[in-house]
């Protein structure tokens, strides 16, 4: 029996497994589809595992993984251009259930507002506001200048505040992730 054995680096395995929640959140922010985002995370982990030798120890593993995920997403988008999209949201609207709690209503409103942002602004806001990457790390992931990321985050936050009819942090509540995404301490 000719079984091929691969040496398993337990440290890299643990780091990749630890990154899954953040990768899933970022993938979902890009795809807005749980199945597609899970597939994207799985493909990211496979690529990272097979290309682990190209990772430079001592650098930011999360930034490396997010870059892989982002590149896979945009490659997938280019391939999907021929597919029919639900641009007006009619099909998606039929699949949603009305929320039964105030928090769900607020979350739904936030998700709707977030989904109206241009993809590059949404991506920058999620990286900086929700995933806690620095502007520099987000710029590296997106392959743009730091000033571009700052501008995108600022425009995204301003637009969300406008869309949600907010005037300040008192309108948001105490959820730390939401406060961070909106730019409040």
Of 170, 156, 167, residue with least CA distance to 114: 156
Quote helix, strand, coil % in the chain, to nearest 5.
Answer: 70, 0, 30
Q: What range defines the domain where residue 110 resides?
A: 100-184
In percent, the amount of the chain with pLDDT more than 90 equals 38
Token reading at 89 = 């949201």
Residue 161 sits in the same domain as residue 135: yes
Residue 104 sits in the same domain as residue 78: no
pLDDT digits (tens, 9 = 90+) for 121-177: 999 999 998 888 999 999 999 999 999 999 999 999 989 888 888 876 566 555 555
| Stretch 87-108: mean pLDDT | 66
Last residue of a domain, one of 86, 115, 144: 86
Of 78, 73, 129, residue with least CA distance to 65: 73
What is residue 124's predicted lDDT score, i.e. its pLDDT? Answer: 92
The answer to pTM > 0.75 is no
Of 173, 157, 90, residue with least CA distance to 122: 157
User: Which regions of the chain does DSSP assign to beta strands (E)?
Assistant: none
| Stretch 84-88: mean pLDDT | 64
- Are residues 14 and 49 in contact, defined by beta-carbon separation less than 8 angstroms? no
| Stretch 32-49: mean pLDDT | 93
In percent, the amount of the chain with pLDDT more than 70 equals 74
What is residue 54's predicted lDDT score, i.e. its pLDDT? Answer: 86
- pLDDT of residue 35 exceeding 70: yes
Identity of the highest mean pLDDT range in 48-52, 66-70, 73-77: 66-70
What is residue 36's predicted lDDT score, i.e. its pLDDT? Answer: 92
Domain harbouring 18, CATH code: 1.10.1740.10
Domain harbouring 108, CATH code: 1.10.10.10
What is residue 168's predicted lDDT score, i.e. its pLDDT? Answer: 62
What is residue 180's predicted lDDT score, i.e. its pLDDT? Answer: 57
* Cα angle, residue 65 at apex, residues 62 and 71 outer, rounded to 5°: 135
Secondary structure (DSSP) of 107-151: HHHHHHHHHHS-HHHHHHHIIIIIS---HHHHHHHHTS-HHHHHH
Tell me whether residue 93 is in a domain.
no
Residue 80 sits in the same domain as residue 109: no
> In which band, very low, low, confident or very high, does the pLDDT at 77 lie, cut at 50, 70 and 90?
confident
- Alpha-carbon distance of 43 to 49, in angstroms, equals 10
């Amino acid at each position: 029996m000719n079984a091929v054995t691969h040496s398993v680096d337990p440290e890299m395995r643990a780091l990749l497994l630890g990154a899954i929640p953040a990768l899933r959140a970022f993938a979902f922010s890009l795809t807005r589809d749980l199945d597609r985002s899970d597939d994207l995370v799985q493909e990211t982990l496979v690529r990272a595992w097979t290309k682990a030798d190209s990772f430079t120890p001592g650098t930011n593993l999360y930034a490396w993984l997010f870059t892989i995920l982002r590149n896979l997403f945009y490659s997938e988008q280019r391939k999907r251009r021929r597919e029919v999209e639900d641009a007006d949201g009619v099909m998606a609207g039929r699949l949603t259930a009305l929320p039964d709690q105030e928090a769900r209503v607020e979350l739904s409103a936030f998700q709707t507002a977030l989904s109206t942002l241009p993809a590059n602004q949404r991506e920058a806001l999620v990286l900086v506001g929700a995933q806690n990457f620095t502007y520099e790390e987000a710029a590296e992931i997106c392959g743009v200048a730091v000033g571009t990321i700052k501008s995108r985050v600022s425009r995204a936050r301003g637009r969300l505040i406008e869309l949600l009819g907010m005037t300040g942090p008192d309108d948001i509540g105490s959820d730390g992730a939401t406060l961070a995404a909106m730019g409040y301490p």
